Amino acid sequence: MKLSLLSVLALASSTSAFVASPQSSRVSTSTQLYERKPFITGNWKLNPNTKGEAIALAEDIASSVTSDSPGDVALFVPYPFIETVQNICGDKITVGAEMCTPEMKGAFTGGISPAMLASIGCKWVLAGHSERRTINKETDEYINAQCLKVIENDMSVMLCIGETLGEYEQNLAGPICELQLKKGLAGVSKEDMSSVAIAYEPVWAIGTGKVATPEIAQDVHEQIRATLKNMYGEDIGDSTKILYGGSVSPDSVDGLMAKPDIDGTLVGGASLSGESFGRIINFQA
């Protein structure tokens, strides 16, 4: 669903979430008080081609996860590979699905329900990835239904949000993220927020090689955290993990992860190489 610029601006001006000075929201970030363990995740998208290649890639990635790795690791992989990758990764890496249908049963050809995913031990599901929003025309309402059903089926959901290049150039990153958060999380209770992580993925940075600078990403993450505090209170705002995604590479990960409100990464292209993703998993804190 496309939003008119006016409706976005109206929403931005009707909220107090973005009037806090950078200084005050930085102070209330309290990363020191809320130890958010880093969460490094990969999204394989429509890759690799075969089960054999998926096995080789999963083995390569799993070999990079050691007791010295600084955070938790998860891989979102195509459905046919979920159980195979789970078997390879054991408890080193959590395996998730790249989407699900909110419908639970019946005449929905091609559908994959949250209950099906939960029954094979899937722990996480992505919702609202920009490619699903644009290519598959998933609306905020559909994405919201996915979030609610994933949580209802005892899995965690990573809600992806982010602005287009045009929106970024009009200074609308914060308001767009606020709107997508409010619509995507409608009906998600404060208690359920322990099953939610947010991935900020500016559309202009996905697959383009144009990674957001750590400063740009931190600024938007701070605004997203302010919105979460506004919606759910200080403690939820402080404890919810917010990951950055968009052309993350071995070269950019350390600078991004150094920022106080960036709790992890959602990596596309670079998660298809054991060497690159291994370096990202073992970022230098």
Contact residues toward ligand 13P (CB under 6 A) are 43, 129, 201, 206-207, 245-248, 266-270
CB 268, min distance to ligand 13P, A: 2
Does residue 48 have a cis peptide bond before it, meaning omega lies within 30 degrees of 0? yes
* Cβ-based nearer residue to ligand 13P, 172 or 272: 272
* Catalytic position from the list 129, 138, 163, 221: 129
CB 196, min distance to ligand 13P, A: 16
* Cβ-based nearer residue to ligand 13P, 146 or 230: 146
| Pick from 165, 171, 167, 180: nearest CA to 132 | 180
Three-class secondary structure of residue 43 per DSSP:
strand
* Cβ-based nearer residue to ligand 13P, 17 or 117: 117
CB 252, min distance to ligand 13P, A: 10
In eight-state DSSP terms, residue 213 is P
CB 217, min distance to ligand 13P, A: 13
CA dist., res. 270 & res. 209, Å (int): 11
Tokens of 151: 């949580």
Residue 169 burial by Cβ neighbours in a 10 Å radius (0-12, 13-18, 19+): exposed
Closest residue to ligand 13P using C-beta atoms: 268
Please indicate whether residue 201 is annotated as part of the active site: yes
Residue 34 burial by Cβ neighbours in a 10 Å radius (0-12, 13-18, 19+): middle
Quick one: which H or E segment has residue 77?
strand 72-77
CB 248, min distance to ligand 13P, A: 5
* Catalytic position from the list 163, 178, 201, 222: 201
* Cβ-based nearer residue to ligand 13P, 201 or 261: 201
DSSP string for 229-274: HHHH-HHHHHHS-EEEESS--TTTHHHHHTSTT--EEEESGGGGSH
* Cβ-based nearer residue to ligand 13P, 129 or 225: 129
CA dist., res. 119 & res. 106, Å (int): 17
Q: Which residues are catalytic?
A: 129, 201
